[in-house]
Structure 1
Amino acid sequence: MNANFVIMGLPASGKTTFLAALWHLIESQETDCRLTMDGYRGDLVYLRLISTAWRTFKEVPRTSQVGNTDVTIYLKDRESGARGTAMFPDLAGETFELQVEERKCRPEFIEQATADDGVLFFVTANLKEDGLTINELNSRMPETDANADADADADADADHTDKAQPASTQTIKHPEWEPKYAPAQVKIVQLLSDFIRPPFTYRRRRLALMISAWDLARDQHLTPENWLATNMPLVDQFLRSNPELFEHRVYGLSAQGVKLDDDAAVDKISYITPSKRIQIVGPDIEANEHDLTSPLVWLMSAAV
Structure 2
Amino acid sequence: MNSNFVIIGLPGSGKTTFLAALWHIVEANEKPCLLRLERFEGDQTYLNKISEAWRTFQPVERTSQTGDTDVVMHLVDDSSGTQAAAFFPDVAGERFSDQVEARRSRRIFVDNVAECDGVMLFINANSKQDFLSILELNAQLPPEPPATDSDPEDKTAQESWSDDDEEEELVWEPKETPGSVRIVQILSDLLRAPFEVRRRRLALVISAWDLIVPSGRTPAQWIAGEMPLVDQFLRTNRDFFDSRLYGVSAQGVDFKDEAAVREAAKKNPSERIMIVDVGEPGHDITVPLLWLMTDG
What TM-score do the two structures reach when normalised by structure 2?
0.92
Q: Distance in 1 between matches of 2:30 and 2:63?
A: 26
Q: Which runs of 5+ in 1 are unaligned?
A: 151-165
Identify the residue that residue 8 of structure 1 maps to in structure 2.
8
**2: CA distance, partners of 1:116 / 1:169:** 56
**Alignment size in residue pairs:** 285
Q: How does 1:236-275 map to 2 (within 5 A)?
A: 236-275=231-270
CA distance 1:229–1:144, change in 2 (3 Å):
closer
Tell me if structure 1 keeps the 8 A contact 2:207–2:250.
Answer: yes
CA contact (8 A) 1:25 1:275 kept: yes
Note the alpha carbon deviations across 1:113-161, whole angstroms, 9 max, x for none: 101000010001102121222332222223354379x9xxxxxxxxxxx
Match of 1:223 among 213, 218, 223: 218
The CA RMSD over aligned residues, in Å, is: 1.9
Deviations 1:171-207 (A, max 9, x none): 4122211222121111000000101100000100000
Q: CA deviation at 1:239?
A: 0.5
Matched, 1:280 2:275: yes
In the TM superposition, what whole-angstrom CA distance separates every residue of 1:33-55 from its partner, at most 9, and x where no partner exists?
A: 01011101111100000000000
Aligned residue for 2:153? none
Partner of 1:33: 33
**Whole-angstrom distance in 1 between the partners of 2:220 and 2:260:** 27
Unaligned runs of 5+ in 2: 151-158
Is the partner of 1:289 in helix, strand or coil? coil
| Alignment pair present for 1:200 and 2:195 | yes
Q: 1:264, 1:60 → 2: CA distance?
A: 20
Instruction: Work out the CA distance in 2 between the residues paired with 1:54 and 1:91.
Output: 16
Q: Distance in 2 between matches of 1:183 and 1:144?
A: 23
Aligned to 2:291: 298
How far is the alpha carbon of 1:244 from its aligned partner?
0.5
Task: Look up the equivalent residue of 2:80 and give its one-letter code.
Answer: S
Q: Tell me the secondary structure at the aligned position of residue 79 of structure 1.
A: coil
Comparing 263-272 and 85-94, the one that deviates more: 85-94
Partner of 1:137: 137
Match of 1:146 in 2: 146
The alpha-carbon deviation at position 168 of structure 1 amounts to 6.4
What is the match of residue 162 of structure 2? 169
Q: 1:135 is matched by which residue type in structure 2? A: L
- Greater C-alpha radius of gyration: 1
Partner of 2:123: 123
User: 2:69 and 2:175 mapped to 1: Cα distance?
Assistant: 24
SS at match of 1:198: coil
SS at match of 1:4: strand
Q: Is the partner of 1:190 in helix, strand or coil?
A: helix
